[in-house]
């Protein structure tokens, strides 16, 4: 029987100390977390491993010669040395498109916060400001209507497409920059250059993968091309945005608000410039994490493993 090791099950099932979300996984050793130095020892002679963020390097593969399958508990698979896996004949799978609606939901929540300032007003009420008000209401946080605004969406994969549909539903103008625009037009969506997107958007929402081309995409030069008072949403990857440049833009007022679910390093460093910058909304990489989304993720990962065991692998990376 195939023996399986789950290296970091806690993030997918934090509510259940017994990792009940993995109930369909047989003959498995499930660890909450695994340090880099313990990875090879924990895999040992197992033939299959599931990992979310624990790196499976060439050195780990060499130390675990029985390893034949790596299932990544995510869509991105940069935690695996793919070339080394190919050389050793190890099958690697991922879980595509499991979090599309959850991530868009989170991005839209950030968009609406940036326009309506719900959390800021909640805090002002609870600090006694409304009690002390001479009028029936007060509005000392700037608010804007979403309708009629222009949103620039960077990246047009599953999440970018769903974000465009959501924005159209909010009566926004939609600009999209992608390296692979569709052959046929999309009603309500204009495909533009990055420069046109930066200069023409009231809101910019990032949904692109992290590559050498997109690393630092939103930095000093890009921010200088944006409208004054732009709002920026990042549910892609932290390093797509230069944190120092963004912090400077927030302090100068060039960027009205930066709302992000991802940081350049995770957890962030205590001295990360964005943690002390004004006008930020930062959530701890949770856009993917509604319970239903995590159940879907693990369900597909287990199905991937079972399909491989039965000789019909699916969602194969290599």
pTM (whole model) above 0.85: yes
Q: Which fold has domain 100-282?
A: Rossmann fold (3.40.50)
Angle at 3 between CA 313 and CA 81, to 5 degrees: 60
List the one residue out of 253, 252, 258 whose CA is nearest residue 111.
258
Given the residues 285, 291, 294, 310, the one annotated as active site: 285
| pLDDT band of 173, cuts 50, 70, 90 | very high
Write down the pLDDT at residue 16.
62
pLDDT one-digit tens code per residue, 20-52: 678 778 889 999 999 999 999 999 999 999 999
pLDDT over 90 percentage in the chain: 89
CATH code for the structural domain at 4-98+291-309: 3.40.50.720
pLDDT one-digit tens code per residue, 92-137: 999 999 999 999 999 999 999 999 999 999 999 999 999 999 999 9
- d(C-alpha 58, C-alpha 16), whole Å: 32
Given the residues 106, 237, 264, 294, the one annotated as active site: 237
Q: Can 237 be counted among the known catalytic residues? A: yes
- d(C-alpha 161, C-alpha 101), whole Å: 11
Other beta carbons within 10 Å of 143: 12
Q: Can 266 be counted among the known catalytic residues? A: yes
The tokens 């019909």 sit on which residue? 312
| pLDDT band of 261, cuts 50, 70, 90 | very high
DSSP code for 224: H
The answer to whether the CB of 190 falls within 8 A of the CB of 167 is no
- d(C-alpha 233, C-alpha 251), whole Å: 17
Give span(s): CATH 3.40.50.720, the chain: 4-98+291-309, 100-282
Given the residues 62, 83, 195, 266, the one annotated as active site: 266
33: tokens are 């977390």
60: tokens are 């780990």
DSSP string, 88-155: HT-EEE--TTSSHHHHHHHHHHHHHHHHH-HHHHHHHHHTTTTTT-SSS----S----STT-EEEEE-
Name the 3-class secondary structure at 212: coil
């Amino acid at each position: 029987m195939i023996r399986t090791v789950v290296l970091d099950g806690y993030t997918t099932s934090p509510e259940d100390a017994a990792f009940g979300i993995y109930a369909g996984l047989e003959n498995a050793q499930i660890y909450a977390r695994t340090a880099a130095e313990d990875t090879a020892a924990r895999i040992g002679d197992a033939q299959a491993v599931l990992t979310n963020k624990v790196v499976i390097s060439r050195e780990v593969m060499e130390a675990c010669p029985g390893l034949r399958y790596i299932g990544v508990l995510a869509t991105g698979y940069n935690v695996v040395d793919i070339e080394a896996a190919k050389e050793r004949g190890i099958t690697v799978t991922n879980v595509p498109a499991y979090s599309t609606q959850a991530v868009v939901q989170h991005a839209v929540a950030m968009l609406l916060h940036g326009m309506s300032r719900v959390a800021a007003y909640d805090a002002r009420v609870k600090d006694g400001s409304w009690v002390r008000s001479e009028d029936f209401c007060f509005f000392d946080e700037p608010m804007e209507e979403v309708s009629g605004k222009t949103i620039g969406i960077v990246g047009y994969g599953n999440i970018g497409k769903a974000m465009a549909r959501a924005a159209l539903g909010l009566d926004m103008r939609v600009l999209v920059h992608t390296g692979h625009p569709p052959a046929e037009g999309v009603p309500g969506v204009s495909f533009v250059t990055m420069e046109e997107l930066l200069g023409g958007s009231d809101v910019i929402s990032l949904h692109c993968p992290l590559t050498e081309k997109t690393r630092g995409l939103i930095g000093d030069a890009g921010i200088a091309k944006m409208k004054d008072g732009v709002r920026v949403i990042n549910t892609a990857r932290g390093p797509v945005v230069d944190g120092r440049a963004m912090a400077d833009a927030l302090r100068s007022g060039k960027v009205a608000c930066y709302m992000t679910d991802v940081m350049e390093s995770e957890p962030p460093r205590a001295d990360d410039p964005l943690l002390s910058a004004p006008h930020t909304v930062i959530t701890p990489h949770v856009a993917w994490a509604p319970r239903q989304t995590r159940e879907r993720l693990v369900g597909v990962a287990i199905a991937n493993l079972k399909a491989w065991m039965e000789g019909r692998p699916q969602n194969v990376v290599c």
